[in-house]
Structure 1
Amino acid sequence: MKTNRRNFLLGSAAFGAAGLGTFPHIWSKNSGLARAAGGQIKVGVLFSLTGTTAIIEESLNKATIMAIEEINAAGGVNGMEIVPVVEDPASDPATFAEKARKLVLQDKCVSVFGSYTSASRKAVLPVFEKRDNLYWYPTLYEGRECSKNVIYTGAVPNQQQDEFVPWLVKNFGKRWYLIGSNYIYPKEENNYCKKLLAELGAEVVHEEYVPLGHSEFSSVINKLKAEKPDVIFSTVVGDSVVALHRQYHAAGLDPEKMPMASLTTSENEVAAMGGAAAAGHFTSAPYFMVWDSPENQKFVEAYKSRWGGDKVTHFVSEPSYFQVHLFKQAVEKLSPDDIDPTTIREAVKGEQFNAPQGLVKIEGENLHTWLRPKIGQCKSDGQFEILQQSADWLEPIPYKAYDGQVCTADGLKSS
């Protein structure tokens, strides 16, 4: 299944990589960038089409490609066509780094859109910082990063948890079980969650992490039966989300008494596990497919039309889509001779876009995004009912878990 999809998506953009040299690239006015040659702007698309996180990343690829196609169909960027160079890093951080080097050095892309896990973002970060290129990262993540070479369009902990955790404590109770995949994102999110729980007088009865791709949760289910927590706080990702939910459901556990509250379970994972296994559980995110707005209706209809009526949109595919439009708006402010990663970075600061979730904005100080958090409960039809939404968009504070540290345009500062 994934082989055919991979070949199709790679084939749709492979022409953009033809005929390029392999020497290290230095940004300069006369460097022969593909950005202006033949009226084209070359960008990289770096999402896994195979491996354990392909269940989510292939949809990020689709949303990115769709946005590029929309922009090109409407005349491009000041008449220039965006040409995507698609690579498959196969859910492996080392391969992410290898492919990122190719996109920056060989393909000479002025920006790269990519990554789902923080492990893969951390793997490519040295490439973009060393070469002063620009990486657009659409995924909710743990914060605690302050780079001039990443545009962060996903939620940080304060945007997902500041309203979600108090709401769960109020409605379900103070005994929490924390389970996540074993890498940096779940551990940092749980650190922030524990800080909020302590402020609310709540407690963590158990905390554990499972390997990426883990699929056997019988021991976890037994612990849940024994501990009987009020809330199961899940930061499990990829295929493991499907396995955890199915085994929870098969064990006869009751979401009305012991719900899973997730930062990482979207419509995409729900479609894979089935509505019955997801029903009754909660997710906090800036975007849900059911959100009622003209912009979201257009987005959902276009996505289904392009990729199939059975496809779903979700809280990572949506920023994958809108960040390409923010890229376009930034590049439109530049003359063809001035298009490079550093000028794009400066041009995108403060840019706003009326995204499917609502109006979003790139914060000039830290290159993160003002977003609109919501709390949803999954229904048996695989969609979410939105129970609560923020009164306004919420400022991104990537170091909120770390008192005295602030990400600014001049780097990390002590406050």
Structure 2
Amino acid sequence: MTMTRRHVLGAFGAAGLSTLASPLLAKTRPITISALYDLSGGLEVYGQPIVDTLKFAVAQQNEKGGLLGREIDLKVYDPQSNMQLYSQFARQAALADAPDVVFAGITSSSREVVRPILRQFNRLYFYANQYEGGVCDRNMFATGVTPGQTVDKLVEYSLRNFGKKVYIVAADYNYGQIVADWVRKYTQQGGGEVLEVEFFPLDVTDFKTSISKIQSARPDYVWSALVGGAHISFYRQWQAAGMHGKIALSSTTFAGGNEHVVLTPEECNGFMVCQNYLQELATPENARFVEAFHKMYGADYPYITELGMGAYQGFLLWAAAVEKAGSAERMPVIEALETGLSLAAPSGQVTIDPQTHHTIMDVHIARVENGGLIPVQTFAQQAPVDTAVSCNLREHPGDTQQYVVKF
């Protein structure tokens, strides 16, 4: 979505007139959601499924009559994986759209660009992505998984099934660095050994040297925290080097951008992942969700991603809070969410943790198989233990920091 200066000024004018309107008109205006997600620029493999699920959620809710008798209006911006555009569009959305809630950001850097802006303008913020944890901000709710909910499960599974020696390859940004620390911690606790850790900028596409190093190190398995369209090259080069099937691979990021669909089965079958959502989950809620989603987008829609589900369940929690509060205003909605709001989502039961504003949820270990993710083991109702170490919004509601767990 591109808005010109004339559009922005027009929006400001409309906003000014609305202050003179009657209370009745104020109650009948649409409820507005602004969404800032990368639809181009390199991270669109993550952004497009998120926007698709938000559009689906809004359409589904509007078919039910909207919220509080008001239609929901979704405004989508494409920051193009550019932090300057994230800043520009966050301000533009906060002022011109006057949104009741904002869903935004894929990477941690994009989150940390928009978070202070939305707090400054008192716009409620939902960050729906998997991330490294630690953000403590009463104005933000996180509805994706953190390492404290997934990494220990997958490390323990990998040590038990593959062996004690691991080689880590990770994206060179907050999530990759912190996940590598978590993997090291749990590997050592399990009596294993991290042979080496390598970090790669998000635009790196040549992994041949690294693969040669892995071959020489001879680990029992590789832990991948690679992300983005460029890093998919690792898996193709891994298979081309004859390594697929010889050394196991585990990841908490693989499949988040539908890598398991883009790659051939020969390139990725047998990889192990740990996620909050799998399209194959055999629950009534998920069956209804998948059927309705495919009715809107077609049966040939690529796999519904965990990141898309993070946004969908974030929307469900926000909508339930609006209904509970009887208002779309920011503080009543925050207070409704802080009651520990809980609901049955397609991913399982999801509950807002009042202390951290993160989400208590199920996580699942799964095996990549022919473009799908086959559930292997489920861990019910995992709390955001990493963030809870440092964040207590009940005692410190004015906190706005991101904490890093020290190892």
TM-score by length of 1: 0.88
Q: CA deviation at 1:32?
A: 9.5
- Give the secondary structure class of the aligned counterpart of 1:377: strand
- CA change 1:185–1:230 in 2 (3 A) is same
Letter in 1 for 2:148: N
- CA change 1:17–1:275 in 2 (3 A) is farther
Q: CA deviation at 1:46?
A: 1.1
Distance (whole Å) between structure 2 residues aligned to residue 33 and residue 138 of structure 1 = 33
Segments of 5+ residues of structure 2 without an aligned counterpart are none
Distance (whole Å) between structure 1 residues aligned to residue 25 and residue 356 of structure 2 = 26
Distance (whole Å) between structure 2 residues aligned to residue 34 and residue 283 of structure 1 = 51
Moved more, 359-368 or 267-276: 267-276
Distance (whole Å) between structure 2 residues aligned to residue 288 and residue 269 of structure 1 = 14
Distance (whole Å) between structure 2 residues aligned to residue 98 and residue 366 of structure 1 = 28
- Give the secondary structure class of the aligned counterpart of 2:244: coil
Equivalent in the alignment of 1:325? 316
- Aligned residue among 66, 71, 74 for 2:56: 66
Q: CA deviation at 1:55?
A: 1.0
- Aligned residue among 87, 95, 103 for 1:97: 87
TM-score by length of 2: 0.89
Q: Does 1:410 align with 2:395?
A: yes
**Is contact 1:39–1:79 with CA below 8 Å preserved after alignment?**
no
**Residues 279-328 of structure 1: CA distance to partner in whole angstroms, max 9, x if unpaired?**
11011111111111111112222222222322211211112112111111
- Aligned residue among 118, 126, 143 for 2:108: 118
Q: CA deviation at 1:22?
A: 7.6
**Residues 370-409 of structure 1: CA distance to partner in whole angstroms, max 9, x if unpaired?**
1101101101x2101111111x211112336xxx634333
Q: 1:270-349, aligned counterparts within 5 Å?
A: 270-311=260-301, 312-336=303-327, 339-349=328-338
Letter in 1 for 2:335: E
Distance (whole Å) between structure 1 residues aligned to residue 139 and residue 153 of structure 2 = 30
- Give the secondary structure class of the aligned counterpart of 2:385: coil
Q: Does 1:190 align with 2:206?
A: no
Q: CA deviation at 1:100?
A: 1.1
Equivalent in the alignment of 1:88? 78
- Aligned residue among 60, 68, 75 for 1:78: 68
Distance (whole Å) between structure 2 residues aligned to residue 397 and residue 19 of structure 1 = 46
Q: CA deviation at 1:24?
A: 11
Q: 1:16-415, aligned counterparts within 5 Å?
A: 19-21=10-12, 36=26, 38-255=28-245, 257-266=246-255, 268-311=258-301, 312-336=303-327, 339-349=328-338, 350-379=340-369, 381-390=370-379, 392-399=380-387, 405-411=390-396
**Is contact 1:17–1:85 with CA below 8 Å preserved after alignment?**
no
**Is contact 1:180–1:209 with CA below 8 Å preserved after alignment?**
yes
Q: CA deviation at 1:111?
A: 0.8
Distance (whole Å) between structure 1 residues aligned to residue 333 and residue 218 of structure 2 = 51
**Residues 213-253 of structure 1: CA distance to partner in whole angstroms, max 9, x if unpaired?**
32111112111111111121111111134211111111111
Indicate the percent of aligned positions where both proteins have the same amino acid. 27
Letter in 1 for 2:106: Y
- Give the secondary structure class of the aligned counterpart of 2:94: helix
Equivalent in the alignment of 1:4? none
Segments of 5+ residues of structure 1 without an aligned counterpart are 1-9
**Is contact 1:35–1:110 with CA below 8 Å preserved after alignment?**
no
Distance (whole Å) between structure 2 residues aligned to residue 30 and residue 137 of structure 1 = 33
**Residues 124-160 of structure 1: CA distance to partner in whole angstroms, max 9, x if unpaired?**
1111222232211111111122111211000111111
